[in-house]
Amino acid sequence: MKSKPANTVNILGLTYTVERVPYILRDEYRIGQLDPEKQEIKILDSLSEELAAQTLLHEVIHGILKQLKFFDEDNDEKLVQGLALGMYDCLKDEPSVIFNLTHKRRKSMNKKQTSPQVASKASKILSNDHAGKNTKSVAGSALSQTRASGKSKK
């Protein structure tokens, strides 16, 4: 069985590669493994999608605890598994809730729009060879906040 393509996940500023693998080499049977030195998370390929997601959360929680130097808690498998199952249960029915929450906020943050008159002046400034670097920077910023008109020049 061929492994699925790798993904990545960010754990407190460190990027971990996440990979589904046919087996995990360890002394005891494991369905997931976090390797902080290699910044890798391996998930057993034979797991159902639900169990693979729970296992990924389990390994991510290990990564968070290691990063925060909560070594006693990191060794508490009941705690880690409880947190992983709680997070999975919270997000399984609405996995996009975090994206939706933050995306709506980002969309509403910048309500400023440059008027067509100011956009026209900004365009003229950008094409003026005598305009200074700072002036052109401000003009470019104004143009970046212009709402698309839908008209195309021919």
Q: From first to last of its 154 residues, what are the pLDDT tens digits of the chain?
A: 445 445 999 999 999 999 999 988 877 788 999 999 999 999 999 999 999 999 999 999 999 999 999 999 989 999 999 999 999 998 888 878 777 777 665 555 556 677 888 878 877 887 888 888 778 778 777 767 765 544 444 4
User: How far apart are alpha carbons 39 and 17 in whole angstroms?
Assistant: 6
Strands (DSSP E) found in the chain: 7-11, 14-21, 32-35, 40-44
| All structural domains of the chain with their residue ranges | 7-94, 111-146
Q: Distances from the Cα of 93 to the Cαs of 55, 61, 76, 101, in angstroms?
A: 17, 20, 27, 15
pTM, rounded to two decimals: 0.62
CA-nearest of 6, 115, 106 to 56 is: 6
Radius of gyration of the CA atoms of the chain, in A: 25
Tallying the residues shown for the chain, one arrives at 154
- Are residues 65 and 74 in contact, defined by beta-carbon separation less than 8 angstroms? yes
